Amino acid sequence: EYDEDLVSRQLGVYGKETMGKLASLSVLVVGLRGLGAEVAKNLILAGCKRVDVMDSNVAQMRDLSANFYLTPDDAGEEPRDQACVSKLAELNSFVEVEVASGELDKDLIDDYDVIVMTEIFDDIDDTIRINQICRDNNKGFILTQCLGAYGYVFVDFGDEFEVKDKTGEEHKSFNIVGITNDEEAELTVHKGKIHNFSDGDYVVFREIKGMDELNELDEPVKISVIDSYTIRLHIDTTDFGKYKIDGIVQSVNHPETINFKSLEDSIKNPINEKNGSLLMSDFSLFGRPEQLHVGLQAIYEFQLRHRKLPKNCRKHVHEVVEIATKINEDNKQNNNGLFVDELDKSVIKLMSKFSRAQVTPMTSFFGGIVSQEVVKFTGKFTPINNQWFHFDMFLSLPNERVDRTPTGSRYDDQIALFGKNFQKKIETQKIFVIGAGALGCELMKSFALMGLA
């Protein structure tokens, strides 16, 4: 059930079929620091049937730097989920919002369609266990964390996940001027309009004169792109009639099955044969996703050893760098996992130093990405089908030595990244935001959390 007026803009993007599927989706968000609060908020506003939250850890004052529903009164007193659930529920009366409790086992997971983990409370081995339960029971699984100035998303929708509409774009059609009789025919469109087909698209035909067999096909034809005006048809037209004149070629939706790897397999070998590399967000930092992935494995191992994330001290940073170096060298020597030719230790150090902090620019960014991935469980749009997305904002960190001593305030996570002087400057800034729609309100929320005057 949903209010069409409330989700009118979403309907324009998703369509009624997808919106109907979304309105029947049940999601569990595990972890309710800044990132978990963002994901839960977005999914509730999007109109899922049910969004439950799970985080029994007592709120801390520093959580207030990114979780917009916690108050100073909650710090040291209330579990994060209990402190936030009633406020989250007020966002959309059509969505059921409750606190989930108990073990993350099959009985609990069976109640949901998608599990979103925004924290690793125990260790990566326990997270792998949860992922496997999801795979065994056809549940969507997303693991995401904001670790200071770095964050990532991992998506696993199972062995055979069907995408019904890869792009959500309107169907494209073009006038035909020529088709060859070949084992894989070449089709040319009119020079007055460059086609915008992509490799792997599927097309149908109509109004062709001469090669009438194409008009009568029962199934769409897969294509690959040759140039701006020519495509290759993956169909044998050798015995078809000779093309004469006219005709229209049009793209159609064609279900595509994606085979996701498990978290256990993908941690060590994140690159699959189809994609060949990790998803890049900044082409000026070529190879950065691979560096980040090795560093993430080291943080997983550190947490496995110590039951906590590393803090910003020489001992912890040194250990994480040592772990990353060993993982990389072992994978290189045995050729049984992802490795980089030369490990960038400066990147690993930055990942380790600030991994305990969450700041609102990162949680807002990743909250949006993760929420959209949940929507894709409906079969609309293509998920992150190489499964991992890594992103960092290390370039925003100060190069000079700064005072990062905690003050016991709500801004300690932000101070941990940028220092006390930065926080003082932020608190004197006066920002005038024009427009208070969805984007304006998001900006106001972020500015308030950061402490702008």
- Condensed to tens digits (0 to 9), the pLDDT of residues 7-38 reads 788 888 888 889 999 999 999 999 999 999 99
Helices assigned H by DSSP within 114-161? 124-136
Alpha-carbon Rg for the chain, nearest whole angstrom, is 25
Beta-carbon contacts of residue 243 (< 8 Å; ≥ 6 apart): 176, 178, 179, 180, 181, 208, 209, 210, 211
pLDDT band at 366 (very low <50, low <70, confident <90, very high): very high
What is the reported pLDDT for 1?
63
Q: Which helix (H) or strand (E) holds 22?
A: helix 8-22
What is the reported pLDDT for 216?
95
Helices assigned H by DSSP within 99-160? 106-109, 124-136
Please state, as a whole number, how many other Cβ atoms lie within 10 Å of the Cβ of residue 236.
12
In 3D space, the residue among 84, 81, 123 whose CA is nearest the CA of residue 102 turns out to be: 81
232-288: pLDDT as tens digits: 999 999 999 999 999 999 999 989 899 999 999 999 999 876 667 899 888 889 999
Mean pLDDT calculated for residue range 391-405 = 95
Q: pTM for the full model? A: 0.91
What is the reported pLDDT for 275?
66
Distance CA 224, CA 227 (A): 9
Distance CA 326, CA 344 (A): 13
β-bridge pairing 230-233 and 161-163:
unpaired
